[in-house]
Amino acid sequence: MARVLIVEARFYDHLNDLLLAGARAAIEAAGHAHETVTVPGALEVPGALALAAETGRYDAYVALGVIIRGETYHFEVVSNESARGIMALTLDGLAIGNGILTVENEAQALRRADPAQLDKGGDATEAALAMLKLRERFA
């Protein structure tokens, strides 16, 4: 049984609840244990992942959050830097599924977050578990 940590950037509660439901359902369906920690925003997700990895307590990680385009350049900074930080950690060998949505509007986010629609929380979990299997294969 793998130990999976979900790190969620809880900014849009109703959308995060959907992402979290999909991620938890996928972890439980695969027969694994999970914990969840919450950070203020997507920029804090890579830092939380790195801190958790230092403990050695987790086998895989799921990053969740929602970034909706606004009127300023902030959308690009948050989207790009959170993705860059997560990618750097994957290149260091962590099994991470990136479920941080980067969308134009709330309707797009809702469709992607909802487990009954595109279930990106579940997809991110499946990616993390696939990377964990791959890491174990190459170990």
Q: Determine whether the annotation assigns residue 112 to a binding site.
A: yes
Q: Determine whether the annotation assigns residue 81 to a binding site.
A: no
Active-site position among 14, 32, 34, 74: 74
* Secondary structure (3-state) at 9: strand
Q: Determine whether the annotation assigns residue 71 to a binding site.
A: yes
Q: Which of 98, 97, 117, 122 is nearest to 107 (CA)?
A: 117
The answer to whether residues 124 and 99 touch, using CB atoms and an 8 Å cutoff, is yes
Q: Determine whether the annotation assigns residue 100 to a binding site.
A: no
Type of residue at 100: I
Q: Determine whether the annotation assigns residue 28 to a binding site.
A: no
Q: Is 14 among the residues known to form the active site?
A: no
Q: Determine whether the annotation assigns residue 77 to a binding site.
A: no
The answer to whether residues 36 and 6 touch, using CB atoms and an 8 Å cutoff, is yes
The answer to whether residues 72 and 102 touch, using CB atoms and an 8 Å cutoff, is no
Residues 6+ apart with CB under 8 A from 119: 22
Q: Determine whether the annotation assigns residue 51 to a binding site.
A: no
User: Which residues are marked as active site?
Assistant: 74
Q: Which residues are annotated as a binding site for 5-amino-6-(D-ribitylamino)uracil?
A: 11, 42-44, 66-68, 98
Residue positions forming the annotated binding site: 11, 42-44, 66-68, 71-72, 98, 112
Binding-site residue set for (2S)-2-hydroxy-3-oxobutyl phosphate: 71-72, 112
